[in-house]
Amino acid sequence: MTSNPRFDICLQFLLTWEGGFSDHPADPGRATCMGITQRTYDSHCDRRGRARSSVRGITRGEAIEIYAERFWTPLECDRVSPPLDLVVFDTGVNMGRSRAVKLLQASLRVAVDGVLGPQTLGALAAQQAAVPALVADYLARRGRFYRDLAARRPSLGVFLSGWQRRLDALEAAAVVPSAPPR
């Protein structure tokens, strides 16, 4: 688990969108609870030496462990300035870690390979002053990805308005305050 207070803040936002149990037939993730897919929960249980069970019974503590271990830490969110940490974390959970990194790389204008390596982290460190612009660019790319995905796979169109509401809320939560006037 992470001791970064930003994890708790970002998790709170995330859990407002990743609520109870769902098993929508058009959702490629199928059965999920608190945003955790059955497949991810099975993997978590296997790593812990626990018997597999329905994701419907996942505890909040287990979900928090999974979010910290499988999303926050691998996405290096401790090294990402707020509020970009929230944007990357939420995207990783909603769209997968690789897609979250690809969107970040595109916004940073570096090679897009989905690997969060030295080149991406170096570019991120070099552009810390540009976080508001990075957030805006990233969110615009995420919105385009949703629209393109729904166009390519019409069965996913049922989720488009919910994705847009989540994106709007994320944009509102990720507002970077401007420096006070001197």
Q: 50-90: per-residue pLDDT in tens?
A: 999 999 999 999 999 999 999 999 999 999 999 999 999 99
Domain extents in the chain: 5-173
- Tell me the pLDDT of the chain averaged across its residues: 92
- What integer is the mean pLDDT of 159-171? 95
Q: What is the pTM of this model?
A: 0.91
CATH code of the domain made up of 5-173 = 1.20.141.10
- CA–CA gap between residue 92 and residue 99 (Å, rounded): 7
HSE-CB for 123 with a 13 A CA cutoff: 15
Question: Helix 131-152 and helix 160-173: axis angle, to 10°?
Answer: 180
Q: Is pLDDT at 182 greater than 90 in this prediction? A: no
